[in-house]
Structure 1
Amino acid sequence: MDTSIARRNILARIRAAQGREPEPSASEREAAADYLARHPPGPRPDMPADLTARFIEEAQKLSTTIDTVESLSDVPIAAHRYLVEHALPLQAIAWQTLQDLRWSDAGLTVEFRKPKDGDVVGLTGCFCATAETGSLVLLSGPETYASAGLLPETHIAIVPASRIVAGHEEAFALIRSERGELPRAVNFVSGPSRTGDIEQTIVLGAHGPYRVHVIVVLGA
């Protein structure tokens, strides 16, 4: 269900209560941009020149498994290899943006739809990824449904190396520069879902996927 209209209506009512127009004016947007420009981020850890290596290192600390391939055409075979190694089904649901990859040639049955009960594997791309925390940044949309990376117990994400940025600050700056405004949902995925609520023992898959596997595309 797309809640974008409902969100706009709620924000419009809030703005009306403040005596403002339903939508921000150009001057308001310029003022917000000026505020951001005049308030630089605070101290941050130094990032290495090789953001891909740092992303892989940090992601593995979060129990994310990693594979690397040279091109997008290699992704279906890499996904098949991972599923076979872990005795997982060779069926998956995926973002519609991944339809051009030759999944069937690699022995996979992929449906481009939102997940339902019983779907074990979800395939997604990403908007970008952050080297500082090893996180995936997923933006929701009609073809990039958030549920694909949240409901199936196994999440396989494709990360082009060119889309790995230093940190969260760069990720949000990239969203503003390329999208203009935030989508309905922005999800930062940092490894498999986990909880330590019971006896301080970490349990994976508590509120989402048991497994997060990332295929880094070095030539993309």
Structure 2
Amino acid sequence: MDTSAARQAILGRIRKAQGRPAQPAPAERDAAAAYMAQHSAGPRPAFGSDLMLRFTEQALRMSDTVEEVAVPGEVPTAVARYLDAIGVARKAIAWKTLEGMAWREAGVDVEFRPPRNEDLTGITGVFCAIAETGTLMLLSGADTYSSASLLPETHIAVVPVSRIVASMEDAFALARAEHGALPRAVNFISGPSRTGDIEQTIVLGAHGPYRVHVVVVRGE
């Protein structure tokens, strides 16, 4: 049983115990949506109107590296430059949503598929990025496989400035507005994987990528 089916089974048992139908009626869904729309937001910190600056500052604090480019067409060259700088081969897997970029012209060998054990670099887009915490929000899908950001040693994320939101609340509001129901997996990435389990010493790459590089795209 996959995650979605298991969740539906659990919710179905709860509804049955409450004496309600297995599936919510339209009126019940409308009432839930109205409640969420009217629910007042809690206090949030003020950090100015420059969301890109705040996101970059927080991403760097999370041990990401960040580079800005002017337009999407500059992304492949920026990726090639980064891979050269860290001494990693110009070879990667990527989301299918990035297939239209000029990777070959930039000298980067990219395959648009989920990663395998031998793949060292994964390139993804994002659903959005959160300025408050420097976090990347990724939604899983047929062309946006979660494993691309989890299995390779190096994760490179392409973040359009237009997809930077202020807070986690704004990220979920955007997801509801654009997708309605959330997909099977929603991943929040705040810097490279890390642990402090051994003598309270922080070690990067314990449970996933030990490098996260963000390419921020200023223009469309």
TM-score, normalised by the number of residues in structure 1: 0.94
Q: Partner residue of 1:58?
A: 58
Q: How many residues align?
A: 220
Distance, in Å, in 2 between the alignment partners of 1:97 and 1:183 is 17
Q: Match of 1:193?
A: 193
CA-atom RMSD, angstroms? 1.7
CA distance in 1, matches of 2:19, 2:151: 41
What is the aligned partner in structure 2 of residue 209 from structure 1? 209
Residues in 1 aligned to 2:102 and 2:120: alpha-carbon distance in whole angstroms: 20
1:27-176 matched pairs, under 5 angstroms: 27-176=27-176
Quick one: distance in 2 between partners of 1:39 and 1:163?
Answer: 24
Question: 1:16, 1:99 → 2: CA distance?
Answer: 46
CA offsets per residue over residues 136-171 of structure 1, 9 Å max, x none? 000001110111001101000000000000010000
* Percent of residue pairs identical: 61
1:10 CA drift (Å)? 4.7
Cα separation, 2, equivalents of 1:87 and 1:20: 59
Shift of 1:3: 4.7
Quick one: distance in 1 between partners of 2:19 and 2:143?
Answer: 36
Distance 1:19 1:12 in 2: 11
Residue-by-residue CA offset, 1:95-135 (whole Å, 9 max, x unaligned): 11111111111101111111111110000000000000000
> Deviations along 1:66-100, whole A, 9 cap, x unmatched?
00001111100000000001001211111111111
Look up the SS of the partner of 1:106 in the other structure.
Answer: coil
Q: How far, CA to CA, are the matches of 2:40 and 2:125 in structure 1?
A: 30
- Give the secondary structure class of the aligned counterpart of 2:132: coil
Unaligned runs of 5+ in 1: none
SS for the counterpart of 1:184 is coil
Pairwise CA distance, 1:173: 0.2
CA–CA distance in 1 between the matches of 2:142 and 2:7?
16
TM-score by length of 2: 0.94
Measure the CA separation in 2 of the matches of 1:8 and 1:107. 46
Q: d(CA) in 2 for partners of 1:35 and 1:22? A: 21
Name stretches of at least 5 consecutive residues in structure 2 with no aligned partner. Answer: none
What SS is found at the alignment partner of 1:151? Answer: coil
- Local SS of the residue matching 2:215: strand
